[in-house]
Structure 1
Amino acid sequence: MRRFEGYAAMVTGAGRGIGESVARRLAAEGARVLVTDVDAARAEEAAAGVCAAGGEALAHPADVTSRPSVEAAVRCAVDRFGRLDVLVNNAYATHEEAPRLEDEDDEGWQRDLDTTLTGAFRCCRAALPHLAAAGGRGSVVNIGSVNGIQDFGGHAYSAAKAGLASLTRTLAGQAAARGVRVNLVAPGTVATPAWEDRGTDLERAARAYPLGRVGRPEDVAAAVAYLASSDAAWVTGVTLPVDGGVLIANSELRRALAGQ
């Protein structure tokens, strides 16, 4: 199935993990993909991987905390592909917080929000005129998190992801008249390189998931491909959890009631 034949897409934070998997999935279905990342070497490597798998991709360094950098990336996509149909906002930042909120400084909080939330805003602002010119197939898919819906820890990260869900709804309402859909995927725990130095954390986390495992980047990429495609032509403004059922589970309470 090649739902994106003739489409052009831009994916932020696509040097590895979820973003790289999204780029691979869109390209496998026919899209020409601009692989962007603040780490230029990672972007090049990911784009090369897409091409090696038979897709079409181009790497471009992009720092979503910089308006000129974002606008240059969008121009690159339009100049090289002749159009822009899909924007996937995956870039994010998170920092190790102090144990108590009152001991937090402003820098980490600001960096997380500036990358995750304001960065997505910058990308949407730059891309919207081109998405609106895409003949009704323009689509934004934001990568949120279950942290933006429920308490899983992380004040700044969670606030940024919750803000991104709100931006999804408000922008969807405004952009619909221009033929652009805006949706959000909210993953649970996903086995990405960000977990490489976390020991057995993923194994322990898997026990909290009703489906018995943590997510894979491909799980999220499949949901992104659906929301970006014409299969979701009448879907906008939604938050789609891709979370192994964790949002409907309360494992700790179940264990407590069972006397475990």
Structure 2
Amino acid sequence: MEFDYIVVGAGSAGCVLANRLSANGRHRVLLLEAGPKDRYPWIHIPIGYAKTMFHPVYNWRYYTEPDPGMNGRSIYWPRGRTLGGSSAINGLIYVRGQPEDYEHWVALGNAGWSWQEVLPYFIRAERNQRGKDTFHGDSGPQGVSDIGTPNTLAQAFIDACGEAGYPKNNDFNGESQEGAGPYQLITWNGRRCSSATGYLKSAKSRANLFVETDAHACRVEFENSRARAVVYRQHGKEKKAIAHREVILSAGAL
């Protein structure tokens, strides 16, 4: 099989890449995902992360190495193993990075990553229930909603923070991230909006996009110093896909 681009990992970033790279219709794009399709009902129900957090099929169930600073303990590190990756199993909280972090990246020499330069892309990505304003978009693929029924105990805690002198903040993705307030979630119409739901679902019908699940990448093959192919195992068989342009590894940070 031959493609222009091969994306390894259909997680939070991989689904976005597959959507964008296949958008013009000219490039053949292969998206490989080690896990199964995201058809498990609990993936799409917001409270369902309680079911997927330890699921042996939809979660890699990593553990950290024992750490002397934690008296030799290992910490559980769940990672998604399905279309959408960890955005399909996480706790749904939608919070952007702090503006100061992006400014620090620029100070380290990464031009183009300042807060003012990345903000338009955050806005472009959003379909926010609150509508469009200076910090939010209302027509993007990523659904973002308020909590449907605020918890009275959580509200009491927010009120207590205010009485203690901490600022109340109704939007952690707005002008300031300081303070106490309710989170927004990656949900839309009461269902989880993973990157697979937001970016991949609308693109899967494209004739130039090929999505393979249960396809565990084994190795990347090089020609001189250039990555040219990916060997993966699917349903007990080893297969090989060739990339004429790029092999993109988006299989998670771990």
Q: Which has the greater radius of gyration? A: 2
Q: Which has the higher contact order (CA 8 A, sep 6+)?
A: 2
- TM-score after normalising by structure 1: 0.25
Q: Which has the higher strand share?
A: 2
